[in-house]
A and B are shown apart, each in its own frame.
Chain A
């Protein structure tokens, strides 16, 4: 059995670790709250844009179309992987990486696949294994802003327009709740208009369009894609913080368990030491008496 001093040292080291995991949990919780607020803030905007696209694309006799909505035979695929910059967040990164690998295998047989990695963890993993990388982006989640979403969106859209790719898929973690993340694979391009949330049958006949429907639609879709990228980044960020919070919560609990076990050992060892000491003294006294 370990000596008293060794046990004491272990207890104090577990205590320090616990303090760190606890602090990380608090930080993750605060960051998650902020990310959640951002998600709520974009919702009205995303809904309005979506509604407008629907309105313009579906109204009138002639269905509107845009270059970004036309699907081409799928020969070249871009997978955009949204992972985290940092670890210590449970299975967050490994889930994403596994899903990406599966998707990669699925498309590999029929088409050329490239990856666009977002977040250092994905970048490290896939570049080490020599996957074909179209682009990498790291360190964007610290101080995430809309400009970065715009940049990614522009990269992807211009590559699609230049016919470098025929299909763009985003793989990311969707924020469900603090303890739950949903893995999502979304076809980003070609673009498909979603049904708006409230399906009110509206009369679109008397609208004036400035300058005209086609140019409005052509301008709308990139804006919509921008906000989609922004949403995905925010979702992933919130999910990452949620995953980290849960992971750190578990770590704190485990540390507590180890600590109480060690304390028990310590007390037992201490008692044993005292008992031997007493019996030694008593034995010594007996010996003195006899002489």
Chain B
């Protein structure tokens, strides 16, 4: 199969990925979707979730905390605030973050705090999920 789909993942901390791929699964705000070659031009929100990158033989999994993606002329640009490769996620730290967020939710502070804690919880759960999915593959 010829790989003519190009994927870029850009975060505030630099470009995470910039290479040709076969397909890419993205967590859209209204459900996950997959981008293959010759996909129509698209701009979409990206939710907290997992980005699955397929490169024929090897697949890579990223946990993202949300952002945007643009698809045009077989170039996918994913612009997110964070994208961590599943291999590099520290499960212990994610677990701790999850517990912290749950604790904060239990305290029931102001509306804004609850909203923030909910998001933090979602991110932590997402990272844990990435680690689990990775384990189930191997």
Among the listed B12, B28, B43, which residue makes an inter-chain contact with A45, where contact means beta carbons less than 8 Å apart? B12
Partner of A158, one of B11, B42, B112: B112
A220 at the interface (CB under 8 A from B): yes
Determine how close the nearest CB of chain A comes to the CB of B21; give it in whole angstroms: 18
- On whether the beta carbons of A211 and B29 are closer than 8 Å, the reply is yes
Who on chain B is nearest to A51 by CB?
A: B70
CB-defined contacts of A158 to chain B, threshold 8 Å: 112
Q: Which of A44, A210, A227 contacts B44 (CB 8 A)?
A: A210
* CB interface residues, B 64-104, toward A, < 8 Å: 67-68, 70, 72, 77, 79, 81
Which residues from A are CB-within-8-Å of B57? none
Assess whether B34 is interfacial by the CB under 8 Å rule: no
Partner of B81, one of A41, A52, A208, A223: A223
Pick the residue among B13, B41, B68, B112 that contacts A208 (CB under 8 A). Answer: B41
CB distance from A155 to the nearest CB of B (A): 10
- Which A residues are in CB contact (< 8 Å) with B41? 206-208
Please tell me if A56 contacts chain B, counting CB pairs below 8 Å. yes
Contact A52 B30 (CB under 8 A): no
CB-based contact B40/A49 at 8 Å: no
Q: Which residue on chain B has the smallest CB distance to residue A56? A: B43
Q: Which of A193-211 contact B (CB under 8 A)?
A: 206-211
Q: B12–A216 contact, CB under 8 A?
A: no
**Which single residue of chain A is at the shortest CB-CB distance from B31?**
A210
**Main SS class of interface, B:** strand
Chain B hits for A52, CB < 8 A: 43, 68, 70, 79
Contact B68 A41 (CB under 8 A): no
Contact B11 A210 (CB under 8 A): no
How distant is the Cα of A226 from the Cα of B14 in the complex, in angstroms? Answer: 15
Q: Is the CB of B79 within 8 A of A48?
A: yes
Q: Which A residues touch B67, using CB under 8 A?
A: 223
Are B14 and A210 closer than 8 Å at their CB atoms?
no
What chain A residues lie within 8 Å of B14 (beta carbons)? 41-42, 44
| Set of chain B residues within 8 Å of A207, measured between Cβ atoms | 41-43, 72
User: Of the candidates B28, B72, B77, B79, which one forms a contact with A210 in the assembled complex, judged by CB atoms under 8 Å apart?
Assistant: B28
A146-B12 contact given A48-B77, A52-B79, A211-B29, CB 8 Å threshold: yes
Q: A230 — nearest CB in chain B belongs to which residue?
A: B12
Q: What are 27 contact pairs spanning A and B, CB under 8 A?
A: A38-B13, A42-B13, A44-B14, A44-B15, A45-B10, A46-B12, A48-B10, A48-B70, A48-B77, A52-B79, A158-B112, A207-B41, A207-B42, A207-B43, A207-B72, A208-B41, A208-B43, A208-B44, A209-B43, A210-B43, A215-B45, A216-B43, A216-B45, A216-B68, A220-B68, A223-B81, A227-B12
Closest 9 CB pairs of A and B: A210-B44, A41-B14, A208-B42, A207-B41, A48-B79, A42-B12, A45-B10, A45-B12, A44-B10
Give the interface of A toward B (CB within 8 A). Answer: 38, 41-42, 44-46, 48-49, 52, 55-56, 146, 158, 206-211, 215-216, 219-220, 223, 226-227, 230
Residues of B within 8 A of A (CB): 10-15, 28-30, 40-45, 67-68, 70, 72, 77, 79, 81, 112
